[in-house]
Amino acid sequence: MDRLHHHLPALALGDPLHHLNIGLTPICDPRPSAPDHLTLSAAIKTGQAHLQTHDARAQWPGARLDNQGTRPLLLLEGESLSGAARGQILDHSLLVPPRSTIGLALSPLGRSSAQQPGNRPRSSGQLLFASARARSAARLSTRLFGESPYPGRPQELWEEVAHKRARMDCDDPARPGLEALYDEYAEFIAQYVAALPPRPDQIGAILAINGRVCGFELFAHPAILHELLPRIIASYALDAIECLNFTLRRPRPENPGTLLDALSSAPVMPLPLGADSELLRLAAPGLSGGALIAEGRLLHLHAYRSPFPAQPEEPPSAPPQLNG
């Protein structure tokens, strides 16, 4: 079985940053390079890509992406598309070749995924909150390998989002999917993002909540990381905010390098995607996540401790509050 370290570039850890209960350790590339691809949001903003919904009888049920530009597009696992029914989430990362059209594998954020004719989806610029991304990655591994890191019946994604919205007092039917969560806590999320800025040579981050190392994100180029880091921090902030009012066991802060060490030796299972790209899914106890490889280069790696460490001990009796 292949090992992840065969695909990792030379990495260096920067000095950690902290804000309230989130810790972020930068991952830096000693020899950074410029990207040859765009993110989905950047391509849509500049008119180089278009999304269109289809009903279940169409060739591409869910959504179709037209990349009309001359550069490949990087799409992230857990990236949210809004404007399509109650919102949908990309099932896995992928690289869309230039001047091509593909169908997208999506998971609905609502109980019903019915589409309205002519309702054009868009990239919301939001990611699924980190704990749900971790469990979604584990569910994908379960479908592939047949072993679940979570006891009992795993929640459907729409159930998990609904429970999160209810716990955080955001159960507004007029704002479906992730919209209510991000809108309600926008000011607090902005505080986390502003306090955890990227370094010039940064290509990744190890993130901890309440001293517990939770996850890892890595990209091939600083420019991509700089664009996406605020969204990644925001996705962790939705979990960190919920934990602030809870009584948690607070062990001594973990060394973030231990997660990098575990990832380096982790076995991975390849899943060919075509066009010289493939997914690598982590197949190690205590970890979930995956990587996107294109033409032999690692473009995106996301990994999580499994089960996700930052979980409240009891349901909240009131919405979370922040000081300041």
Of 15 and 110, which is predicted with more confidence? 15
Task: Tell me the pLDDT band of 130, cut-offs 50, 70 and 90.
Answer: very high
The per-residue pLDDT for range 76-98, each reduced to its tens digit, is: 999 987 654 457 888 889 999 99
Residue 186: the pLDDT is 95
Residue 316: the pLDDT is 44
Walk across the sheet containing 100-104 and list its strands: 49-54, 62-67, 100-104
Continuous segment of H or E residues that includes residue 238: helix 222-244
The answer to whether 303 and 41 have CB atoms below 8 angstroms apart is no
Average pLDDT, the chain: 82
Task: Tell me the pLDDT band of 262, cut-offs 50, 70 and 90.
Answer: confident
Distance CA 169, CA 256 (A): 32
Q: Which of 84-93, 96-105, 218-227, 301-310 has the lowest mean pLDDT?
A: 84-93
- pTM, entire model: 0.87
3-state percent breakdown (helix, strand, coil) of the chain, nearest 5 = 25, 30, 45
What percentage of the chain reaches a pLDDT higher than 70? 79
Most confident of 91-105, 191-205, 241-255: 191-205
Residue 113: the pLDDT is 43
Mean pLDDT of 45-54: 85
